[in-house]
A and B are shown apart, each in its own frame.
Chain A
Amino acid sequence: MSLIFEISRKGRRCAQFPDRKVHQYELPENLTRKQLDLPEVAEVDLVRHYMGLSRLAFGVDNGFYPLGSCTMKYNPKVNEEVAALEGFNEIHPLQPASTVKGALEALKQLQDALCELTGMDAMTLKPAAGAHGEFTGMQIVKKHFVASGHPERNEVIIPDSAHGTNPASAAMNGLKVVAVKSNENGGVDLDSLREAVGEHTAALMLTNPNTLGLFDENIEEITRIVHEAGGLCYYDGANLNAVMGLVRPGDIGFDVIHLNLHKTFSTPHGGGGPGSGPVGCKAFLAKHLPDPVIGENGFEYSEDSIGSVRSFYCNFLVCMKALTYIKVMGSDGLKLASENAVLNANYLLSRIKDIYDVSYDRVCMHEFVLGLQRLKDETGITAKDIAKGLLDFEIHPPTMYFPLIVHEALMFEPTETESRETLDRCAEVLRHLHDLAYSDPAYYEGVPHTTVVSHVDEVTAARNPILKYEK
């Protein structure tokens, strides 16, 4: 497919303006750029170009997308309808707060629902995405200890199975990362944790269920160890889709959490709109939330706030999509969604685990991790090859080579929105690909074969990326 720059022809336009009836003023030389090479195309070419691009993309509206840890559930179209309502869509961030009381009320409803669902006392919808939520959450932790006279509490304990954003968020706040090992069940090793906590502990950052898709059954003991050492417990809500209506982080010892509306609450992932990473906390930390917070009387400010963290309050339409989802599902529906997410993951795993090795052979939560080291040793076919093979069957690859503690990892998260037929087909495809690794390994040369672009040279792309069009 041609780049839009390549179909550009000088003088083509989407709109023809009438002849000028006013005097034309030239901009001063120092304010104009001669070399700015913007494409010039007719409307029809423009539409065909973007339609063409959309056909090359693969999203949840195209097919099964079991990308582990990302919760690529189907996003109901009613969310879009509500977000498109004039009263939501045509307000401006610079409008006086007194003229958008309805919008603030809607945000308050979302805030309250998220508090209820997570067992938190206060919530901000402000952070722009998940990692920004983590950063904000760790700022609150840091502020808490500085304000209470314990700046020496500057260590954050993070399990070795964690998302890479966890240590990054701690480090970006000037906090020191202390890693703890996983035990033989894939959970936090309690002895390592006991050794790691101390008078410098600021917080433990934990995802539960963790990135192996396993619920840490020692969770109450874990949060107790951290609290007794004087630290706080931070819940990374990446995997909340497994436990909605079943477990509330606030009830099992967590003090601060962040959520990903684009994962758990069916708003679009990248490309379909910005993310949103609300942060919740217990009452004793609420005064540190980013300014402003939405209270009973609209925006409220606190002298003890960590500050603004970004311009304006929240990615508003994303929040409206999440609110719609929550209202449509109801509390029973959300619980059922989590139960089905767990059921679907266990069903898919049960259909393939006689031939693929699962990293930890337990009942999983909403996702599971396969380790393909044996397949690689026996056939030379890797996790990456299997992932690319899935593309030939119009299934998006799972997350690859993560978490790092599993060799040749493939992490599947089917989500609750997939039917049994879809899961059966995925299992058949995976069994077929496994057979091919032994019976016809040559198939994997140049895989995928059916996609528009095959065998991308990702090494050259990463080493020498071409990020700019040049004639």
Chain B
Amino acid sequence: MEVREELKYTKTHEWVRDLGDGVYEIGITDFAQSELGDIVFINLPAADDEVTAEETLGDIESVKAVSDIYSPVSGVVCEINEEVVDAPEAINNTPYEAWLIRVKDVTDTVELLDAAQYQEVCEHE
């Protein structure tokens, strides 16, 4: 299971990449995709929608189950990854490249973990 040093993580298995200028990129972790199994559908907010830290930003469906994706930040969605919507298997193949949404005007974040802390969370799951 891969955890990348340069990213921040949530206890609910999302990753966050700081793109600078107050824009953050959000995806789900390698651990999350391996627990979910083959992902077949993803439901994301639209550009300009507001997301709120700790609340659901969308949902993700695998052959096993439908699960919520929780937003690590509060802000405004500035871009969604259409490629992932069309081909959600990208999340299974390259979870850290297959970002879901980019959020700007971030006002709040949940408690974010570094790679070592997140690794520990996964070991206790």
Contact = CB atoms under 8 A, between A and B. Distances in A.
Do A and B actually bind?
Answer: yes
Interface in B1-60: 35, 38, 40-41
B121 interface: no
Interface residues of A, number: 11
A449 interface: no
B86 to A, nearest CB: 10
Interface stretch (A257-265, A321-329, A401-409): A401-409
Given A407-B125, A463-B89, A402 B65 contact: yes
Interface string A225-244: 00000000000000000000
A463 B67 CA distance: 17
Contacts of A459: 38, 40, 63
Interface of A: 164, 384, 400-402, 404, 407, 458-459, 462-463
Contacts, number: 24
A462 B66 contact: no
A404 B41 CA distance: 18
Contacts of A402: 65
A463 B65 contact: no
B38 A401 contact: no
A463 B40 CA distance: 5
Main secondary structure of the interface of A (DSSP, over half): mixed
A462 B41 contact: yes
B65 A401 contact: yes
16 contacts: A164-B66, A384-B64, A400-B64, A401-B64, A404-B65, A407-B35, A407-B125, A458-B63, A459-B40, A459-B63, A462-B38, A462-B41, A462-B63, A463-B40, A463-B41, A463-B89
A287 to B, nearest CB: 35
A404 B40 contact: no
Interface of B: 35, 38, 40-41, 61, 63-67, 88-89, 125
Nearest to B92: A459
Given A459-B40, A463-B40, A463-B89, A404 B67 contact: yes
Contacts of B89: 463
A459 B61 CA distance: 11
A462 B40 contact: yes
A408 to B, nearest CB: 10
Contacts of B88: 463
Contacts of A384: 64
B35, B41, B65, B88 — most chain A CB neighbours (10 Å): B65
Contacts of B125: 407
Most interface-central of A164, A384, A462 (chain B CB within 10 A): A462
A11 B67 CA distance: 50
A14 to B, nearest CB: 39
A384 to B, nearest CB: 7
Contacts of A401: 64-65
B57 to A, nearest CB: 15
Nearest to B89: A463
B54 to A, nearest CB: 11
Q: Give 4 closest A-B pairs by Cβ, nearest first.
A: A462-B40, A401-B64, A459-B38, A401-B65
Nearest to A383: B64
Contacts of B66: 164
Of A384, A407, A459, which is in contact with the most chain B CB atoms at under 10 Å from its CB?
A459
A97 B102 CA distance: 59
Nearest to A401: B64
A462 B63 CA distance: 8
A404 B32 CA distance: 13
A407 B67 CA distance: 13
Nearest to B125: A407
Nearest to A403: B65
A456 to B, nearest CB: 10
Contacts of A404: 65, 67
Question: Which of B38, B61, B66, B89 counts the most chain A CB atoms within 10 A?
Answer: B38
Contacts of A407: 35, 125
